[in-house]
């Protein structure tokens, strides 16, 4: 509705969601979910932290730096939603998922061998969907009663 209303007024808005529930991995999900916000955080938080990490040589490998960058980026995104426990946990949860995914995809021989197989894509989709839904439970605040 927003894209159509903007078009009527002469504005061109980017598509902000691109079938995120069909994502076959958590990075794929964030590339499809709330695209404008995800890209802004990637460009202005994650990239800045990565440049700082590389410049200061805080990590021996780019992989460790990327994992830390994902954790910080998503923690900041959680705080951006609000300074409540469930938003902060949501950010940390997704930061951990992204960090683990990055390490898995770079180090796993299993992933490299089967990533193009149909059965692997279907399994990845199912796992991703369940992980995302659990994240939404955290986000809702119903998971934590403090």
- Tell me which residues are annotated as active site: 81
Using CA atoms, how far apart are residues 8 and 1, in angstroms rounded to an integer? 11
In terms of C-beta density within 10 A (0-12 exposed, 13-18 middle, 19 or more buried), how is residue 143 classed?
A: middle
Residues 44-61, buried b or exposed e (16+ Cβ, 10 A)?
ebbeebbeebeeeeebee
């Amino acid at each position: 509705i927003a894209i159509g209303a903007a078009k009527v007024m002469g504005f061109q808005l980017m598509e902000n969601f691109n079938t995120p529930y069909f994502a076959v991995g958590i990075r794929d999900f964030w590339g499809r979910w709330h695209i404008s916000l995800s890209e802004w955080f990637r460009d202005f938080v994650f990239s800045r932290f990565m440049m700082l990490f590389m410049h200061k040589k805080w990590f021996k490998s780019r992989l460790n730096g990327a994992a830390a960058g994902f954790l910080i980026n998503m923690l900041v995104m959680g705080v951006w939603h609000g300074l409540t426990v469930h938003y902060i946990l949501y950010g940390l949860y997704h930061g951990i998922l992204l960090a683990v995914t990055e390490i898995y995809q770079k180090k796993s021989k299993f992933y490299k061998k089967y990533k193009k197989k149909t059965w692997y894509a279907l399994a990845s989709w199912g796992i991703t969907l369940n992980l995302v839904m659990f994240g939404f439970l955290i986000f809702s605040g119903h998971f934590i009663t403090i």
